[in-house]
Structure 1
Amino acid sequence: MKKSLLSAVALTAVMAFSGTAWADILVGVAGPLTGPNAAFGAQLQKGAEQAAADINAAGGINGEKIKIVLGDDVSDPKQGVSVANKFVADGVKFVVGHFNSSVSIPASDVYAENGIVQITPASTNPKFTDRGLWNTFRTCGRDDQQGAVAGQYIAEKFKGVPVAVVHDKTTYGQGLADETKKAMNALGVKEVIYEGITVGDKDFSALISKMKNAGVGVVYFGGLHTEAGLLMRQMADQGVKAPLMSGDGITSNELASIAGDAVNGTLMTFPPDPRQNPNAKDLVEKFRKSGFEPEAYTLYSYAAMQIFADAAKAAGSNDPQKVAEAMKAKGPFKTAIGDIGFDKKGDITRPDYVMYEWKKGADGKYSYFQM
Structure 2
Amino acid sequence: MQRIAGLLIALAAIILTGCGGGDGDNTTPIAIVGPITGQYASFGAQMKNGGEMAVADINEAGGVLGKKLDLSTGDDACDPKQAVAVANQMTGAGVKLVAGHYCSGSSIPASKVYAESDMVQISPASTNPTFTDDRAGPNIYRVCGRDDQQGGVAGKYLASHLGDKKIAFVHDKTAYGKGLADETKKAMNAAGKQEDLYEAITAGEKDYSALVSKLKQAGIDVVYFGGYHTEAGLIIRQMRDQGLQTILMGGDALITQEFWSITGDAGEGTLMTFSPDPRKNPAAAEVVKRFKDKGVEPEGYVLYTYAALQAWKQAAEKAKSVEMAEIVKALNDTEFDTVIGKFKFNEKGDPNLPPYAVYRWSKGTYEQIDPPAEQPAG
- What's the TM-score, normalizing by structure 1? 0.92
Aligned equivalent of 1:199, options 181, 203, 207 = 203
Partner of 1:72: 75
Aligned equivalent of 2:322, options 287, 299, 318 = 318
Counterpart contact for 1:172–1:222, Cα < 8 Å: yes
- Structure 1: distance between partners of 2:133 and 2:297: 33
Counterpart contact for 1:145–1:351, Cα < 8 Å: no
Larger deviation, residues 316-325 vs 44-53 = 316-325
- What's the TM-score, normalizing by structure 2? 0.90
Counterpart contact for 1:117–1:321, Cα < 8 Å: no
- Structure 2: distance between partners of 1:336 and 1:324: 21
Partner of 1:338: 341
- Structure 1: distance between partners of 2:323 and 2:70: 16
- Whether 1:261 aligns to 2:265 is yes
- Whether 1:91 aligns to 2:98 is no
- Structure 2: distance between partners of 1:92 and 1:269: 33
Tell me the amino acid that sits aligned with residue 271 of structure 1. Answer: S
Q: Secondary structure of 2:297's partner?
A: coil
- Structure 2: distance between partners of 1:26 and 1:148: 38
Provide the aligned length of Structure 1 versus Structure 2.
Answer: 347
1:244-295 deviations in whole A, cap 9, x for unaligned? 0000011101111101111100001001111111221111111111121110
- Structure 2: distance between partners of 1:350 and 1:206: 40
1:215-260 deviations in whole A, cap 9, x for unaligned? 1111000011000000001111111111100000111011111011
Counterpart contact for 2:283–2:338, Cα < 8 Å: no
Partner of 1:12: none
Q: Secondary structure of 1:293's partner?
A: coil
- Structure 2 unaligned blocks of 5 or more: 1-21, 370-378
CA drift of 1:195 comes to 0.8
Counterpart contact for 1:174–1:223, Cα < 8 Å: yes
Tell me the amino acid that sits aligned with residue 119 of structure 1. Answer: I
Partner of 1:48: 51
For the aligned residues, what is the CA RMSD?
Answer: 1.1
- Structure 2: distance between partners of 1:166 and 1:322: 44
Alignment of 1:165-204 (within 5 A): 165-204=169-208
Aligned equivalent of 2:280, options 276, 280, 302 = 276
- Whether 1:367 aligns to 2:370 is no
Q: Following TM superposition, where does structure 1 have runs of at least 4 consecutive aligned residues deviating by more than 4 angstroms?
A: none
1:84-104 deviations in whole A, cap 9, x for unaligned? 000011111110000000000
Q: Secondary structure of 2:121's partner?
A: strand
- Structure 2: distance between partners of 1:294 and 1:159: 34
Aligned equivalent of 2:133, options 130, 133, 138 = 130
- Structure 2: distance between partners of 1:146 and 1:94: 27
- Structure 1: distance between partners of 2:109 and 2:324: 19
The sequence identity of aligned pairs, in percent, is 54
CA drift of 1:20 comes to 4.5
CA drift of 1:153 comes to 0.2
Larger deviation, residues 112-121 vs 287-296 = 287-296
